[in-house]
A and B are shown apart, each in its own frame.
Chain A
Amino acid sequence: MIKIAGLSRRAGSKTILESVDLEIHPGEIFSFIGPSGSGKTTLLRLIDLLDMPTTGTILFDGIDTAASKAVRLSIRRRMGMVFQKPAVLNTTVSGNVAFGLKFRKAEKSEIESRVHEALDIVGLLHLADQKAVTLSGGEMQRVAIARALITRPEVLLLDEPTANLDPVNTELIEKLILAIHKKFHTTIILSTHDMIQGQRLADRMGVIMNGRIVQVGSIHDIFYRPEGRDIARFVGIDTILKGVVESNDGGHARISVNNTFLEVITPCKPGTRVALFIRPEEITIAIRDGDLPKTSVRNQIQGMITKMVPFGPFVRTTIDFGSHLTALVTRRSADELSLKVGMTVIAGIKATAIHVIMDSG
């Protein structure tokens, strides 16, 4: 659907995007994910042909979008975009929704029926004649979605569609995006800094950091097999350990981390310096009570609790065993085990829950 090659954008001497290569498949929901200021908005604006790239090409359905102004307009008219901060024009809600078709010089009767349809989809029919500027943030965002939808775009771009919304409206908008995708099979490209939202909505994700796409893949790949330290931190992996492979028996490796040995699954050869990523919810905590129970958990690491921070219904518990591990323990089990700072505990980690990459730094 969209093929991006060697795309970069500089503003003055500042590089905002650097050598982006990416392909968006027809009908998929693709999410850009990355911290604020990483270049997500810039990339979406380039895809919507609002700005010109400094270098690189964007092919839309095989057409080079840099061909001419007329080509850019005609391709832009096959897309719809919803901005992070929705801007409504000083007219009624239906007046706002109608713009796209008005610009395309559609028949009046067609505009009316499509406005009705679009407002129905976003659930704002009852506000059709109200002044758009009087709406709440969530309602404005739905107007913006209806407005982008009315031209039946082949590609719908959404820039942080829920960044300024409360949880209730966020859920509403997310449901709406999925409903639109189901109904029209629109290719949807969205950006978010909320990885959980990316997980809820997207088929594939692209992680953007400092103006570069650092990893593209399925949600599972990015969550469990991040290709770098920064990505790992961003997707919520608190525990990043450095170690050296001691031995490797057909993929079952022993890794030394500060003289503690961990069993992992990796093809890395003995002597390789590696980084280990462990998601906090993959670490279990037990207290020593006689003999250790026999379990499938290969790694049982003894350490001392140094920090406990409440995190919603969980407690983020940091354990010092020479290096640090962070585990997400439910508040209930923390209470049952009466975990406290200073206690010695056993952290359990399955070999398969440890993601290993070669350590470059």
Chain B
Amino acid sequence: MSEIISGFFQAIDLIVNLDPEVMQIATLSLLISLAATIIAAVISIPLGGLIHFYEFRGKRVLIVLIQTLYSVPTVVVGLLLYLFLSRSGPLGYFGLLFTPEGMILGQAILIIPIITGLVIAALGGVDRNISDTLISLGATGFQTIIQIVREARLAILSAVVLGFGRAISEVGVAMMIGGNIRDATRVLTTAIALQTGIGDFPFSIALGIILLIIALIVVIVLNLITAGLSVEAQQALGGPRT
């Protein structure tokens, strides 16, 4: 017990004094996950739009598949990507294994399904009457799509924020593709895993607290966004957040 308490106080010390290593790891974590989120959003939002606005065979199946991928184990993504990125793999030429770029790629792949799925839900959450109204007001197909996306903007934004939350908190891809190399690919989650393994609890606790703070910020941002959403849209995103 005393170990936990003393570890906690040492952790606070590390954070308050802006310990360079802690700060470096935290910054790298944020950068990698932000980059992954931006890439994923750039792909997922148009992709979700395409799936929502166009009718095609197997649409339902595709949506179910995407929803299944919400909970794909991060280590499975890590494993597959490892096989592709390793020297002998099909993408080995790019030398992305054990680099931050490789981690960005991995995290982006991890969160594309969740953002895409939630974007589809967000667009579906826009009242059907809205699209009828737009069309009856003389909107072209393109004008209708733009306006509906605009109508769903808050729900889409929360989908992206949720994706970021999953990216920054995952361990599998960061560990297997990043390799937890000090000053290069070591991020919050992998560092916590390693430092706990070697018994450096104050350091782990400090990183854990930072991770929790980031999680808290994500939740606060989500709340601020969803406070502006309709009840229907909140339900589409998995129930109202209170």
Residues of B within 8 Å of A77, CB to CB, are 138
Q: Which of A80, A87, A99 has its CB near the most chain B CB atoms (within 10 A)?
A: A87
Per-position 1/0 for A30-45, Cβ under 8 A of B: 0000000000000001
Per-position 1/0 for B137-154, Cβ under 8 A of A: 111100100010001000
Say whether A83 faces chain B, with CB atoms less than 8 Å apart: yes
Residues of A within 8 Å of B134, CB to CB, are 99, 103
Closest chain B residue to A48, Cβ basis: B136
Q: How many pairs, one residue from A and one from B, have CB atoms within 8 Å of each other in the complex?
A: 52
Residues of B within 8 Å of A87, CB to CB, are 127, 129-130, 132-133
Residues of B within 8 Å of A179, CB to CB, are none
Residues of B within 8 Å of A80, CB to CB, are 136-137
Q: Which of A79, A89, A100 has its CB near the most chain B CB atoms (within 10 A)?
A: A89
Say whether A273 faces chain B, with CB atoms less than 8 Å apart: no
Per-position 1/0 for A58-92, Cβ under 8 A of B: 00000000000000010011011101011101100
Question: Chain A interface mostly helix, strand, loop or mixed?
Answer: mixed
Query: How many B residues touch A, CB cutoff 8 Å?
Result: 16
Residues of B within 8 Å of A147, CB to CB, are 133, 137
Give the size category of A's interface with B. Answer: 20 to 34
Question: Chain B interface mostly helix, strand, loop or mixed?
Answer: helix
Contact B136 A81 (CB under 8 A): yes
Residues of A within 8 Å of B147, CB to CB, are 89, 99
Per-position 1/0 for A92-108, Cβ under 8 A of B: 00000001100110000
Q: Which of B127, B134, B138, B140 has its CB near the most chain A CB atoms (within 10 A)?
A: B138
Contact B143 A103 (CB under 8 A): yes
Contact A83 B135 (CB under 8 A): no
Closest chain B residue to A90, Cβ basis: B151
Contact B151 A50 (CB under 8 A): no
CA distance A144 to B130 in the complex (A): 11
Contact A83 B132 (CB under 8 A): yes
15 pairs, A vs B, C-beta closer than 8 Å: A50-B132, A79-B136, A87-B129, A87-B130, A89-B133, A89-B151, A90-B151, A99-B137, A99-B147, A100-B137, A100-B138, A103-B138, A104-B138, A148-B136, A148-B137
